[in-house]
Chains A and B, each alone.
Chain A
């Protein structure tokens, strides 16, 4: 990976979500509409990326509730304090994340939604159902 180029026209979105199914689906949607996408498993990883010079980050799209490494509100406060140049969008549910991603696509590099965000959400729901372990109660 080369050094970040401040003139690089590709906007970079960092998605922060500890649910791998949601994070992967939203990340792929954003990549399809032309963004460079960084995936962070939790807020601590997001802070590590934002503190490093590894890659320029323009926008952070974060889940609100996360099981470890701080929640979305803490990340929002941290970014405001340490990286006020970076925009933060919080999404409390996968549906809100999909719609926030679609809105980013509308103003992103390709100026078009690659497909309806509802399809992203439908896919996330199917995969979440498939992942759900069977419990003793059936």
Chain B
């Protein structure tokens, strides 16, 4: 998978350090509960993914515009202008091939695209790794 957007205008000295990084799929975790975001992100990093973190939908949009995100993992309930379902739709418009996994403590909301995977909270971070592996491979 091309990740040319991740490392722009590489200086030769940065290339070695960045080469390994650029081979890994980029996963964007959007969650406003910091301890949960931390747990999921660290578990995904331990599983080998290049993980970006956003605490709000606005941060997520900035990262989606700046990095070659392969998979968006987002909470449905988010502070800010967009909830996770709206964020997923905007992300798709910007990046049609992005894989989306959505989560919520409530029932699965109506209106999610058919190919969005939904997982209800609470979950173990390892379950998210399994889901991400499944959707990206």
Contact = CB atoms under 8 A, between A and B. Distances in A.
Nearest to B17: A114
Contact of A1 (B17, B54, B65, B125): B125
A41 interface: yes
B39 A54 contact: yes
Q: How many B residues touch the partner, as a band? A: 20 to 34
B53 interface: yes
Residues of A contacting B: mostly: helix
A54 B63 CA distance: 26
A115 B34 contact: no
B14 A115 contact: yes
Interface string B66-83: 100000000000000000
Q: Interface size bucket, A side?
A: 20 to 34
A41 B54 CA distance: 8
B62 A20 contact: yes
Contacts, number: 61
Interface stretch (A73-81, A89-97, A126-134): A126-134
B17 A32 contact: yes
Contacts of A114: 14, 17
A38 B55 CA distance: 13
Contacts of A54: 35, 38-39
Contact of B38 (A55, A123, A126, A127): A55
A49 B21 contact: no
Given A21-B66, A131-B62, A131-B65, A48 B35 contact: yes
Interface of A: 1, 20-21, 24, 27-28, 32, 36, 38-41, 45, 48-49, 52, 54-55, 114-116, 119, 123, 126-127, 130-131
Interface of B: 8-9, 11, 13-14, 17, 21, 34-35, 38-39, 41-43, 52-56, 59, 62-63, 65-66, 125
Given A45-B55, A130-B66, 10 more contacts: A1-B39, A1-B43, A24-B53, A39-B53, A49-B35, A54-B38, A55-B42, A116-B13, A119-B11, A126-B8
